[in-house]
Amino acid sequence: MFFKRKEHHVKADGRLRHIAFIMDGNGRWAKKRSMPREYGHVNGAKNFKKVIRYCGDIGIKIITVYAFSTENWKRPKHEVDAILGLLSDYIDDAVASMEENNIRLVFLGDKSIFPETLQKKIANVEKMSEQKELLLNIALNYGSRAELAHACNVLIERGASHVTEADVAAALYTAHCPDPDLIVRTGGDIRLSNFLLWQAAYAELYFTDTLWPDLAPHEIDKIVDEFYRRKRRYGGL
């Protein structure tokens, strides 16, 4: 069941346009319940849908999530298969509910490594949803260092002899949207883990011990409240 509007007590404004999530803690959530890691990913996927809906309902226009990193291939094959299976199911659901959901899907990362069937699904849902208002970026086979290397290669191919910050930003996977205002990591670790390193230059960071499947509306409200209490000086006074 999705979070209900009556639970809202915060509302995002122009200061918080873009929130990004490092969705950490699914495996530990499952372990605490003596269940396999895949069980944690299933419940993390369920909460992912709820969190996206809630963020949209409180007025956030852009959401980016770290779904699968370039380093996640090191995990056991059965766990990788489970994660990618959940992603494929989510795309199927997104296509089926396209008329009722106002979500534009964009996938960040190198998608060429995936099976052709999944690549086609991704391309199809991106095209179908491109006129929707709420932008959801899903970082998939994504690593920020790889993204920066890719951007450099794009600029080389374009014949660039002198490169500015604006040139690099325009060659990133996130060129279609502004940088995140706030990056939230669940699961207790205090690091970015190769996520949006260029884009995070002036983002506010929030770390919580809450495991991803347990992230609930009241904590999202708390996080947004904390964001509004901070003063973003961008190097000024």
Question: Distance (Å, rounded) from C-alpha 129 to C-alpha 137?
Answer: 12
Name which of 25, 63, 37 is nearest 209 in CA terms: 25
Catalytic annotation present for 24: yes
Q: CB of 160 within 8 A of CB of 35?
A: no
Catalytic annotation present for 57: no
Looking at this protein, which amino acid is placed at residue 7? E
Q: Count Cβ atoms below 10 Å from residue 9 Cβ, excluding itself.
A: 11
- C-alpha 188: how far from its chain's center? 18
Question: Distance (Å, rounded) from C-alpha 41 to C-alpha 50?
Answer: 14
Owner of token pair 């996938």: 107
Name which of 184, 191, 167, 188 is nearest 223 in CA terms: 184
Distances (CA, A) of 116 to 202, 204, 235: 37, 37, 45
Owner of token pair 């199911």: 89
- The DSSP secondary-structure symbol of 140 reads E
Q: CB of 8 within 8 A of CB of 217?
A: yes
Residue 85 three-state SS: helix
Looking at 72, 167, 194, 221, which residue is catalytic?
72
Looking at 24, 57, 179, 181, which residue is catalytic?
24
What residues are annotated to the active site?
24, 72
